[in-house]
Structure 1
Amino acid sequence: MVEFRQATLNDAEALLHLTLRAYQPIRELGINFAAANADMELVKKNIRNNMCFLMEEEGKLLSTLSLRMPWGDHPGPFGVPHIWWFATDPDYAGQGIGNKLITWCEEKMVRDTLKSPAVSLGTADKHPWLVDIYKRRGYQEMSRKDLGKGHITVFMKKELTTDIG
């Protein structure tokens, strides 16, 4: 049975291991995402300062996604929760695991729990398929900015519908 929960510092070692394995292709592309070169200190900082979620099955970590909050020390650009540090165990690639986690986060956490009308994220313009994947998920490109990381960051936003009835 798949379970979603917020990470604790006890999860830091497993989270670091998953992240470094999942971001290997990103490093090979030369994209400098913070998570791609994470160390234990950064993992713990992410758990302490953001809403870091885990998706597990029978105690095995399958995927992680963190939300940075508009009121936090590193907010996204649009005043709404901002997705970052999104990784899925490469052993489960192509099985829809990441899709399940991001859908859960968008609907259950951002829309239903935080009552936010939208969510944002940023990705690298030179990544061969991420911008298109997020567009298919309903994200719209809002802006591009050079953050000095060796690529242009594409900032995207998704409006979240609420069914009142």
Structure 2
Amino acid sequence: MGEVYRLAELKDAQRLQDITYRAYAMIRELGLHWPAATADVALIEDNIASNECYVLEIDNSVQATVTLSKGEEIKTLTELPFVKWFAVNPDSRGKGYGGKLLDWVEENIILGKLGASAVTLATAQKHPWLVSMYERRGYEKFVELDPGNGDGIMVLMRKKLADPTTSI
């Protein structure tokens, strides 16, 4: 099985839109106002062009995607790298592809390339399994806030990537 970890390209936008839309079905059902949940191809292309959008390809087929934000929107809460728009092809759930991609981005990009000792992300407290999934991956809650947009409590989570004695 050929695994390739790489930056997304504009030619990937249609496939990423399909994967993300299907993967974010529960987000829409919960009424969360996440841009990725209803992104059209143009918004996916903007995400690819404006951020570092990574994909995991298995045998030349994109199976998972995650974005490392380059935007300033999160800088009011944390200076640490921020991941968003994480999605796994629903047809491949349970195969570990999402975890492999997150591990690769955390180890090779955030720790290796950027030299950051930790990473952050945000998720909704009302989602039935996302908080616990990220906790199993080593993320810890560090801020809870209500953005006032109807999403309820959003949880900012942080994961230490370097030696646990290193301050972050």
For normalisation by structure 2, the TM-score amounts to 0.90
Distance 2:147 2:40 in 1: 21
Which runs of at least 4 in structure 1 moved beyond 4 Å after TM superposition? none
Output the aligned Cα RMSD: 1.5
Q: What amino acid does structure 1 have at the position aligned with 2:72? A: D
Q: Does 1:6 align with 2:15?
A: no
Question: Which string of whole-angstrom CA distances, capped at 9 and with x for unpartnered residues, describes residues 72-127 of structure 1?
Answer: 33335210110100000000111111111111111111001111111000000100
Report SS of the residue matched to 2:21. helix
> After superposition, where does 1:69-80 map in structure 2 within 5 Å?
69=70, 72-76=71-75, 77-80=77-80
How many aligned residue pairs are there? Answer: 161
Worse-superposed segment, 23-32 or 43-52: 23-32
Distance 1:146 1:13 in 2: 32
Structure 2 runs not aligned, ≥5 long: none
Alignment identity in percent?
A: 42
Question: Which string of whole-angstrom CA distances, capped at 9 and with x for unpartnered residues, describes residues 21-42 of structure 1?
Answer: 1111221222222111111221
Distance 2:136 2:14 in 1: 33
- Closer/same/farther in 2, CA of residues 162 and 51 from structure 1, 3 Å limit: farther
Q: Is the 8 A contact 1:18 1:87 kept in 2?
A: yes
Distance 2:149 2:108 in 1: 32
Report SS of the residue matched to 1:17. helix
Structure 1 runs not aligned, ≥5 long: none
For normalisation by structure 1, the TM-score amounts to 0.91
What is residue 17 of structure 1 aligned with on the other side?
18
Distance 2:154 2:4 in 1: 32
Distance 2:147 2:52 in 1: 23
Distance 1:73 1:18 in 2: 26
Report SS of the residue matched to 1:134. helix
What is residue 99 of structure 2 aligned with on the other side?
99
Report SS of the residue matched to 2:149. coil
